[in-house]
Amino acid sequence: MAAIEAENLTRVYRVGDGEVRALDGLSLSVPEGELAAVMGPSGSGKSTLLALLGGLDTATAGRVSVHGEALETKSADELATYRRDSVGFIFQDFFLLGHLTAEENVEVPLKLAGMERPERLARARELIEQVGLGHRGGHLPNQLSGGERQRVAIARALSNRPKLVLADEPTGNLDEKTGHEIADMLVQLNAEQNIAMLLVTHNPVVADRAQRQFRLGSGKLIEETVKP
């Protein structure tokens, strides 16, 4: 079973009298456990694709399933459960809660999933250590570097043991060296934990770490390359 299967995926936004075809009949598939990169110019539909795969938005037409679970037929409640239990999100801007420490940020999804406090604390601690921030767990986001903040976001994305991680330009706000460290971490987590990952990036060096690369243009799949 594929981790991601999108068939003729279309997302049309109505703006005033006109419309934008953010995705225009896109079909692609990512095998179980694979790390795939998505590239393409600004406005080509990359974030729209991630929003559909993550259950943050719904398609205008077409089909999308994640580990065999069809998303286009889910209700809003079912999508909320899917987002909580099955997907981890990592964004360019980190989106950490500023009044919570690194460890508390990682705890949030665990709390939402109903995990009891002692178990939650232990799991958050373990995740923070896993991303190399054992010494920074008590820091607030504004007491962390950009790379450290993104590590917290990675730990948070992994907290509920998702089957799929969606990352939208996770290295976009980081300097080159830190960006490569974050990419290394994603590659390592993908290999160790066998979590499928879809990684949007403008950086060809980062994209080259992926086994599979998709190139989008105007909401369509222009090119797919797979490493031998």
By C-beta, is 14 or 99 nearer to ligand ATP? Answer: 14
Q: Residue of minimal CB distance from Mg ion?
A: 47
CB of 179 to Mg ion, least distance (A): 16
Which residues bind to ligand ATP, rule: CB under 6 A?
13, 15, 20, 22, 40, 42-48
CB of 7 to ligand ATP, least distance (A): 18
Q: DSSP string spanning 28-75? A: EEEETT-EEEEE--TTSSHHHHHHHHTTSS--SEEEEEETTEESTT--
The strand ranges marked E within the chain are 2-15, 18-31, 35-39, 61-66, 69-70, 87-91, 164-168, 196-200, 212-217, 220-226
CB of 41 to Mg ion, least distance (A): 10
By C-beta, is 44 or 190 nearer to ligand ATP? Answer: 44
What is the residue whose two structure tokens read 């989008």?
216
* 62 CB-near residues (< 8 Å, 6+ apart): 6, 7, 8, 9, 10, 23, 25, 26, 72
Cα distance between residue 78 and residue 83, in whole Å: 9
CB of 169 to ligand ATP, least distance (A): 7
Which residues bind to Mg ion, rule: CB under 5 A?
46-47
By C-beta, is 40 or 147 nearer to ligand ATP? Answer: 40
By C-beta, is 9 or 106 nearer to ligand ATP? Answer: 9
Interaction partner, residue 95 (Mg ion, ligand ATP, none; CB < 5-8 Å by kind): none
CB of 64 to ligand ATP, least distance (A): 15
